[in-house]
Amino acid sequence: MTVTVRVPAKVNVQLAVGGARADGFHDLANVFLAVGLYDTVTATPADSLRVTCSGPDAGQVPLDRTNLAARAAVALAARHGLSPDVHLHIEKDIPVAGGMAGGSADGAAALLACDRLWGTGSSRSELLDICAELGSDVPFSLVGGAALGTGRGEKLSVLEVGGAFHWVFAVADGGLSTPAVYGEFDRLTAGADVPLPVASPVLLEALRTGDAAALAGALVNDLQPAALSLRPSLAATLAVGAEAGALAGLVSGSGPTTAFLAKDAEAAGSVAAALVASGTCRTARVAQSPAAGATVVDVLSRD
Ligand SMILES: C[C@@](CO)(OP(=O)(O)O)[C@H](O)COP(=O)(O)OP(=O)(O)OC[C@H]1O[C@@H](n2ccc(N)nc2=O)[C@H](O)[C@@H]1O
Ligand SMILES: Nc1ncnc2c1ncn2[C@@H]1O[C@H](COP(=O)(O)OP(=O)(O)O)[C@@H](O)[C@H]1O
């Protein structure tokens, strides 16, 4: 049997970051929105655990047991006393180390694929527990749509979304390390009174009503100053998107991908063209949200 799962990227429409906790993590009010850029993970029985990856950025993806897809298989197998003998193939379309949760997406997808392949029949809440062990963003990749993540981002409450939003993502050269960006946030806020992170009622209402202009006015990312400090060239990308008519732009999560909200599909096309022409990013991608979470799209039986 072969099981294929499709899983979306995310953008953080609000990322409110509190002070560093004793365990090194930061409490968040993290409003996740899944966007229609997808990886697919295919799980096939094998003699041992093996990860392969295809796609233009495949060379940047680790293929050892640090890969989040491999870690997901190991975690599920351990819970059931199984050996994680599976071939996981990742077709990577989500930018790598770009603040779009591509690794987390592959973790959630592999978990769902292996659960189906091995017939382990995990409940939704068991799957979500394993996701949270794998990383703060992994539960959201399973759930998709839109959700508020509290704690370190792993405790989710699903949010209503009243319409489609049109995005442009400017993909930067190279990645940014998430711990390094949180570390820079700590350095920039040292000595300051960091407020408790809370979700913005205006932003939640804009999502609920599908109002792009209102959402644009409420977009906020507390990690943006840290990402800009580590990668000052992102300011030029943000300026190009604004001049090209985006309703608003911000750094996606820990970056360095920048995300621009557009009025409609046509406006998104012109913002993308302007970003590519400016030479301030490696490429630009258009995508809509919300998108469904990790979903089994194909099951092939051998017989
Ligand atoms: C910033 C965000 C926004 O959604 O995502 P990215 O933009 O990187 O995709 C997340 O908070 C990233 O989540 P994720 O990438 O799953 O992080 P984890 O593996 O759990 O943690 C990696 C490291 O990030 C830092 N970290 C992560 C989450 C959090 N709430 N506080 C933190 O300080 C810690 O240094 C931790 O060791
Ligand atoms: N399946 C995976 N896909 C991409 N990166 C992965 C994967 N598994 C582990 N990683 C590691 O996670 C790091 C962060 O990648 P990614 O999840 O794409 O970005 P971000 O955390 O910025 O959203 C990469 O640099 C890579 O070393």
- pLDDT by residue for the chain (303 residues), tens only, comes to 999 999 999 999 999 999 999 999 999 999 999 999 999 999 999 999 999 999 999 999 999 999 999 999 999 999 999 999 999 999 999 999 999 999 999 999 999 999 999 999 999 999 999 999 999 999 999 999 999 999 999 999 999 999 999 999 999 999 999 999 999 999 999 999 999 999 999 999 999 999 999 999 999 999 999 999 999 999 999 999 999 999 999 999 999 999 999 999 999 999 999 999 999 999 999 999 999 999 999 999 875
| CA dist., res. 70 & res. 83, Å (int) | 12
User: What amino acid occupies position 226?
Assistant: A
**Residues in CB range of 227: below 8 A, 6 or more apart:** 99, 176, 181, 184, 234, 251, 254, 255, 256
| CA dist., res. 87 & res. 70, Å (int) | 9
| CA dist., res. 285 & res. 27, Å (int) | 30
Does 211 participate in catalysis according to the annotation? no
Alpha carbon nearest to ligand 1 atom 35, residue? 179
Does 137 participate in catalysis according to the annotation? yes
- In this structure, the residues whose C-beta lies within 6 A of any atom of ligand 1 are 12, 15, 24-26, 28, 30, 99, 101, 104, 135-137, 152-153, 178-179, 182, 253-254
Complete domains list, the chain, with CATH? 2-159 (3.30.230.10), 165-289 (3.30.70.890)
pTM confidence score: 0.97
How much distance in Å is there from the Cα of 153 to the middle of ligand 1?
Answer: 8
